[in-house]
Amino acid sequence: MMTSSSDANHVSGGSFYVLVVDESASRLEAMVALLNQEIPGGEISFAADPGEAWAMVSQADHLDMLISSVPEEKGDLVFALRDKIVERFGVLPGAFYGAGDMNGYYDWIHGEQLFFQPLSDDAFVAWVHSAQKERASQMAEAVLHEVDTPESLTVAEVPETVASVAIDLPPVPVAGSIESLPVAEVPEEAVDSAVTDLPPVPVAVSIESLPVAEIPEGEGPMPVGSRLGDYELKHLIEANPDWALYDAEQVGINRTVNLKALHRFHRRDPAKVEALLKEARSRALVNHPVIALVYEANQENGVNFYARERVDDPSLTELADHGEKLSDGAVIQLLGTVADAVIYLVENRMNFRPITADLIRIGKEGQPKVINSVISGELKFDEAEQVGLLADAVFPLLTKSRYGGELALHALMVRMHGQGDANVGQAIVTLDQLKVALDYLGEKLGGSSSDHTQKSSHRSAIIVGSMIGGGVVLAGIIMAMTMGGNAKGKDFDYMVQIPAGIFIYQQDEEVKLKQFWIDEYEVTISQYAKFIESVENDEERAKTWAHPNQPATKKSYRPSDWNKYFRAAVKGKEYYGTAIDLNCPVMGVDWWDAYAYAKWKGGRLPTEHEWEKAARGTDGNLYPWGNELDLSRFNSGATQQGSDKYRYWAPVDVLEGDVSPYDVKGMAGNVSEWTDSWDTHPDDPDKEVPIRRGNSFQTEEGFELTGRRPANSPEDSALNTGFRTVRSIPPPAVQ
C-alpha cells in the first residue's frame, strides 16, 4: 500500500525530478514503476491530489516533469497546480490523462500532452523519452543564454494560452501555499488578433528560397526529418517568413498529419506565439464531419506548432485545372454539404476566412472536405459574398454547356451571384435560400445524383503525385461522391431468446423472470446511425420516442463526440489514435438516448435482472463463461495495452470468448451498458439515478458481473458507455 506522506512519496533519488499526481493508488503505483524503468536514476515523487502535490514541490529547488490524471470533477484544480508550478519552476514538459473526453481541456494546456485513459505503454513511453529530450534542450538553452536557474524560463517566454482558473485547493501547512501565490493572467485583448495568420506563399517553397536576411541561420523552417515531440517532419508543403507547413508522421500512433510550425526565432515574441496558439484553439473548437480537425498544439525546443488533420485530396481548383467535371447530382450534393458546414460555423459564431474553391476538397470516398479556415475574433461574415464564392467554386465543374442542354444549374449560378429575374428565378443571397433551391433542383433532376462523373476527352483518368498520392482514378473518387460512400456495418439485429425461469441474482438471491429477447451484440455505431437518420428526418415522430421525463433542454440524440467518431468509423480510420469502424459499439450515449433508441426499434432497455440473467446464466457465474477470470476473453482496461489486444473499444463480434451461457456476446466488456433500472445514488440519498452494468475498455479491476455502476445522472455520457435492447415479445423475424 502506498503511503501519502511527503517523505514516503519521494521514492527514488536522482537529478531528473518528476511529479506524478493521481487519486488512484493502483495507477500511482503502476506509473511510478513505469517511470523508474524509463528514467533510470530519476527522482520521482507522487501525490493523491493537487494540494498534497503542491505541498511537496513548492519548496523544491527544481522540477523537470509533471504527470497528472484529470478527475471528472474538479479537473480545474489540476490545471491550477500546473499554473503554480509554471510560476515556480518555469514551463516544463507535462502530460495529463483522464477517463473522459479530454477535448474539453484543450484550451487549458500550453504545450502539455493529453492522453486518454487507460494509457498505451508505447505512446506514453515515447512521450516520456521525447519530454526528457525537450527538458534537456530547455536547460541547455538556459545555459547558452547565461540563465542561472530554470526559474528564468518564465511564462513570458512561452506565453500562457489561457487565463488561469480560480482554484480552491485544501490549505497546506507550508509557506508559499497555492492560495498565497497569485495566478498570472494574460488578457485576450492584450494580443493583436489580427496576427493570427499570414497568407501562404502561392507555391511550395524550399527552405533556401526564404529571405535569408529575415530569418536567423538555423531558426527558420525545420529540416525535413526533424522531430517535434511525437511528430517527424516528412515534407515541406509551403513556408513564409513566419511559419512553415509540413506533412508529418505522428510516430506514437502512426498517423499522418499536417503540422504548422512557427519559426523558432519567434519563440520570444509573445504576440506571434499567442497568435499561433489562438489560431489552433479557434480551429480546435470546430466539431463538424466536413471540416478538417485540429488535434493538438505543442512546443518543442523553442518551436511552437499545432497538428491538424491531413487533407491531401484534390481541391475544386485542381479538378477544374485538370478538366474534370461533376454530374449535376454531385454538384447539388457538394453545394448542400458545404453550405451546411458554413451554416454550422455561423451558428456557432466562429470567425472564418471565406470558403473558396481552394479550400474545398473531394475525398477518396467522395465526401467533400473543407479546410479549416477558422480564425480568432468576432464573426465577420458576408453571406451574399460567400454564396457567390460557392458558385465560383463549382461553375468550372458543371457538365452542361452554358449555351445548351440542361440550364438549371447554370441559372442557379446566376442567382447565386445576386442576379434574378422572371427567367432564372429569385436572386440567392443567403445560405437558407440556397438550401431551398438545392432541394428543389434535387427533386427536379431526379436520378442525376447517381450519374457517373463525366470527363473531358483529352484528359487522363489518373492524377498522380502530390495531388492525391500514388495514382488514384479520379473518376472513381467523384463517383463515390455521387453514389455515396461504400462503408457499411454488419447486420447485428439478431435477438437471443432468454427462457422463463429462476436464476441466481447477485450473490445468492433467487429471482424468477418471464421469457424475453435480448440483442445478441451491443448496439453498434452503424445501427445507431440509422436511428439518428430517422430522428432528423421526422422530428415530430421522434418526439414519440422520448421518455416522458426527458428534459426539455435535450434537443438531440447525437451522442457525445458523435460527429468525430462517426466520421472516423465510416472511413475506417482512427479516433483517439485507435482504429474504429461501424461495427464498434455506439459510445457516449446518455440514458435518454438509449431509451429513445430502444423505443424506436420496438423494444426497451433491459432491467438489471434481465441483463444479469442474460450475462451469467442460471447458476450465478461470476463471468459469462464461468468463475475463473480470463482477461484475454473480453475487452477491458486491465493492462496498459490490454490482454485482449485492444487499446480501447473493439468491434462487437471480434472477441469470441466473451459469450454467455445463452450465447449473448460481449457482456463482460467493451462498453458498460445502460439498464432500465434506477436506484438511490450512493452519495445522495435524495437522488434516483439509472444503473449501468458490465465492464468497459476502461475497467481496470473488479470484473465480476455482479458489479452495479450507478450513474451520476441520466445525462451522463462517456465513451465507455453503450447499451443493448430487449423485447418482452418475439422480434418480428421470430414472429
Cell of residue 601, nine digits: 426499434
Q: Does 169 score more than 90 pLDDT? A: no
Read off the pLDDT of each residue in 527-553 and give the average, rounded to a whole number: 90
| Amino acid symbol at 643 | S
Are 64 and 78 spatial neighbours (Cβ–Cβ below 8 Å)?
no
Q: Which residues contact 217 (CB under 8 A, 6 or more apart)?
A: none
Cell of residue 195, nine digits: 496576427
Candidates 487, 482, 484, 475; CA nearest to 314 is: 475
The Cα–Cα gap between 414 and 106 comes to: 43
Q: Does 624 score more than 90 pLDDT? A: yes
Range in 443-452, 599-608, 667-676 with the lowest mean pLDDT: 443-452
Are 288 and 309 spatial neighbours (Cβ–Cβ below 8 Å)?
no
Q: Does 12 score more than 60 pLDDT? A: no
Read off the pLDDT of each residue in 396-415 and give the average, rounded to a whole number: 66
Return the ∠ at Cα 113 (arms to 110 and 117), rounded to 5°.
135
* Model confidence pLDDT, tens digit, residues 305-343: 888 888 777 888 888 877 778 877 888 888 988 999 899
Q: Report H helices in 286-382.
A: 316-321, 328-347
Read off the pLDDT of each residue in 529-539 and give the average, rounded to a whole number: 88
Q: Which residues contact 208 (CB under 8 A, 6 or more apart)?
A: none
Residue 148 is predicted with a pLDDT of 41
- Looking up cell 512519496 gives 9
3-state class of 360 per DSSP?
strand
Q: Cβ–Cβ contacts within 10 Å for residue 188, how many?
A: 13
Residue 721 is predicted with a pLDDT of 94
The Cα–Cα gap between 579 and 476 comes to: 25
Domain ranges (residues) in the chain? 17-181, 218-309, 316-483, 495-727
pLDDT band for 626, please (50, 70, 90 cuts): very high
* Model confidence pLDDT, tens digit, residues 559-572: 988 888 888 888 88
Residue 454 is predicted with a pLDDT of 34
pLDDT band for 617, please (50, 70, 90 cuts): very high
Candidates 558, 571, 566, 554; CA nearest to 531 is: 558
pLDDT band for 547, please (50, 70, 90 cuts): very high
- Looking up cell 502535490 gives 53
pLDDT band for 656, please (50, 70, 90 cuts): confident
Cell of residue 208, nine digits: 533556401
Cell of residue 689, nine digits: 439515478
- E-strand ranges in 553-683 read 574-575, 578-579, 672-681
What is this structure's pTM? 0.45
User: Pairing between strand 578-579 and 708-710?
Assistant: unpaired
C-alpha distances (whole Å) from 662 to each of 176, 177, 653, 689, 695 are 62, 59, 16, 29, 19
Q: Does 421 score more than 70 pLDDT? A: no
- Give the rounded percent of residues in the chain with a pLDDT score beyond 90: 26
* Model confidence pLDDT, tens digit, residues 378-400: 888 888 889 989 988 888 888 75
Indicate the CATH number for domain 316-483. Answer: 1.10.510.10
Are 568 and 594 spatial neighbours (Cβ–Cβ below 8 Å)?
no
pLDDT band for 255, please (50, 70, 90 cuts): confident
Are 648 and 722 spatial neighbours (Cβ–Cβ below 8 Å)?
no
Residue that wins the pLDDT comparison between 589 and 373: 589
CATH homologous superfamily of 218-309: Phosphorylase Kinase; domain 1 (3.30.200.20)
Q: Which residues contact 226 (CB under 8 A, 6 or more apart)?
A: 232, 233
Residue 424 is predicted with a pLDDT of 62
* Model confidence pLDDT, tens digit, residues 44-75: 999 999 989 998 888 888 899 999 998 877 78
Tell me the backbone φ, ψ of residue 462, rounded to 5 degrees: -120, 135
Q: Does 669 score more than 50 pLDDT? A: yes
Candidates 652, 125, 302; CA nearest to 113 is: 125
Q: Does 416 score more than 90 pLDDT? A: no
Task: Name the most confidently modeled range: 8-12, 32-36, 69-73, 204-208.
Answer: 32-36
Are 613 and 675 spatial neighbours (Cβ–Cβ below 8 Å)?
no
Q: Which helix (H) or strand (E) holds 709?
A: strand 708-710
Residue 445 is predicted with a pLDDT of 62
CATH homologous superfamily of 495-727: paralog of FGE (formylglycine-generating enzyme) (3.90.1580.10)
Residue 7 is predicted with a pLDDT of 41
First-residue to last-residue Cα distance in the chain: 57
Residue 193 is predicted with a pLDDT of 32
Residue that wins the pLDDT comparison between 422 and 425: 425
C-alpha distances (whole Å) from 493 to each of 490, 496, 583, 604, 648 are 9, 10, 12, 14, 24
- Give the rounded percent of residues in the chain with a pLDDT score beyond 70: 76
Q: Cβ–Cβ contacts within 10 Å for residue 574, how many?
A: 15
pLDDT band for 407, please (50, 70, 90 cuts): low
Residue 612 is predicted with a pLDDT of 95
Indicate the CATH number for domain 17-181. Answer: 3.40.50.2300
* Model confidence pLDDT, tens digit, residues 499-530: 999 999 998 889 999 999 999 999 999 999 99
Residue 209 is predicted with a pLDDT of 38
The Cα–Cα gap between 35 and 128 comes to: 8
- Looking up cell 451461457 gives 661
